[in-house]
Structure 1
C-alpha cells in the first residue's frame, strides 16, 4: 500500500515538474517575442533616421555633390582641401578656444555653486530649482534676450568703459566673450545638478573626522570632496567640452557668425556651406572630420581623467 502511494506521489510530482518546465519555456518564449517586438522597431527607426543618413553622408563626402544636380567621385580631394582652407581652420580655432574657455568656466562656477547649495542654507531646494531654470528655457529665446542686453542695455550701463560703450557683439576681437557668457550661463544649470548628485554621496562623517583632526576647509575640499566627486567631474568635463565644440544656437542668436566670420564655429560653417552654400559634399567631409575629432578628444578625456580617478 505504501509503495503504491509513493509511486502515485512520485508520478504526480514528476507531472507537476514537467508542467512547470513547460510553463517556464512558454513564458520565456513569450518574453522573448515581446522583447523583439519592442526592440526591433526602435532599432529599425534608429537605423533609418540615424545610421543610414550617416552612411549616405560619408558616401557623398567622396563626391563633388553640391546638394543638387549631378555629381562625380573626387576621392579624398574634399578631405585634402579642408586642411588648406583658411576659413575651415579659423572655424576650428574658434571652436576650440570657445570650448576650452567655456568648459573651464562652467565647471568652476558650477562646482562653486553646488558646494554652496550643498551647505546647510535656508531655502536650499528653492535655489536648486532657480539655478536649473536656464536649462529648460529655449536657447534661441534666451539668446535674443541676451542680444538685446549686450547691444542696448550694457552700453548704457557701462558707457564709461570703452570696451562696453559700443555694442560688444560688433567687436571682432571680443564678440566671442558674449557667446561664452550666454553658453556658460545656460550650461551651468545641468552641471550644478550633476555636482550636487556627487556631493550628496559623500558621508558627513568624513568631514566631521577631518574637522576633529584640524583640517581646514580648503584641505577638506582637496583631500575629501574633490577626490570623491572625481567621477562626476569627469562626466561634466567630457559632456561640457563635447557640447561646446558643437556650439551653434548661441552664435546664431547673438552674432550669426559675425562680425564677418570672427565667431563662426565649425557647426555653423557646415550648416551654411552644406545647406545654402552649394558645398554639400565638401561640408559633409568637414562633418566627418569633426566627428572623428570630437570622438578622439572625448576618448582621450575619459582615459586621462579616469586614470586620475584611479590615483585618488
Structure 2
C-alpha cells in the first residue's frame, strides 16, 4: 500500500467509524428493540415478535399522526417549491441589489429552527392578537396556535418561510444553466414570458425541480422542531406529527419498543415516497 492510499484510508476510516457508531448502530438497535416490549428504562424485556407492528395499525394516535403529517407534507412540499421558484426567478432578473436580496432570502436557512419557532410562537400568541385588537381586525384577535383546526397553518407558515431559503439557492443554481440565447431566439419568434418559462426554463431546470421536490417532501414529512417550539403537538393532538409522536411516546411515554417499530415503518414510508418521487419526476424529465 502506497502513502497516498494509506492517507485515503486514514481520512475515511475515522469518519466511517463515527457514522457507524452514532448512526448505523443506533438504527440497528432500534430495529432490534422494535421486536421487544422494552420500555426504555428497565433492563428486563421480552421478545414479542410482530406484536408492536400489528398494534401500530390499531392505534388511533398513530393513525391521526400519519394523517396530519401527510396533509402537512403535501401542502408544505407544494408551497415551498412554488414560492422558491418564483423568488428565484425574481432574484435571477437583472435588478439592483440582487446579491443583497439573495443573502436576505438565504438568511432563514442559517437560523436555528427552534429559535425561529419560539419567536413565531410569541408573534402568533401576543403580537398578532394585540395588532388585531388595536386595528379592529377580527381574524387576527385570536391566537391561531390555540385553535385545533388552524394551528397547523401557523406551523406551515413558519416551515415554508424557513425552508424556502435553501430551495431558492438550488433554483438559482438551476437558472444559471439556462442559456440566454434561448430566450433571445424565442423572443424573436414572439414567445411571451409564460411560454418561455414553460418551454425553455422549466425543462432545463427540471433536475433541480426533482431534487427540490424530494427534499421538500422529505423535510416536511420529518417536521419536528417547529411543533416542539410552537404547539407541543396541540391543541390536544391536532398537530402531533409522526416524528413528534415517536419522540414523546418513546422517550417520555414508556413506549420505547412500540415507537421503535413506528420509527421503522416511518423510515420505510419516507424511503418509498422519495423513491417514487424520483422515479416519476425523472421520467417526466425524460419526456420533456
TM-score by length of 2: 0.97
Task: For residues 82-119 of structure 1, give each alpha carbon's deviation from its aligned partner in whole angstroms, at most 9, with x where no partner exists.
Answer: 00100000000111111110111111111111100101
- Map of 1:210 onto structure 2: 186
The 2-side partners of 1:212 and 1:189 are apart by 35
1:261 to 237, 241, 259: 237
Match in the other structure for 1:189: 165
CA distance in 1, matches of 2:286, 2:29: 41
Segments of 5+ residues of structure 2 without an aligned counterpart are: none
Q: Is residue 95 of structure 1 aligned with residue 69 of structure 2?
A: yes
Q: Aligned partners of 2:93 and 2:24: how far apart in 1?
A: 46
Return the offset for 1:49: 1.4
Check if 1:66 corresponds to 2:61. Answer: no
Larger of the two Rg values belongs to structure: 1
Please say if 1:56 is aligned against 2:32: no
Partner of 1:142: 116
* RMSD of aligned residue pairs (Cα, Å): 1.0
> C-alpha separation between the residues in 1 aligned to 2:138 and 2:249?
35
Q: Residue 177 of structure 2 aligns to a residue in which SS?
A: coil
Once residues 145 and 41 of structure 1 are traced to their aligned partners in structure 2, the CA distance between those partners, rounded to angstroms, is: 39
2:9 is matched with 36
For residues 138-196 of structure 1, give each alpha carbon's deviation from its aligned partner in whole angstroms, at most 9, with x where no partner exists.
11111111111111121233344544321111000000000000000000100100000
- The one-character-per-residue Cα deviations of 1:185-237 (angstroms, maximum 9, x if unpaired) are 00010010000000011010000000000000000000000111000000100
Deviation at 1:41, TM superposition (A): 1.6
- Work out the CA distance in 1 between the residues paired with 2:111 and 2:185: 42
Q: Secondary structure at the match of 1:258?
A: coil
Which runs of 5 or more structure 1 residues have no equivalent in the other structure? 1-27
Q: 1:245 aligns with which of 197, 221, 237?
A: 221
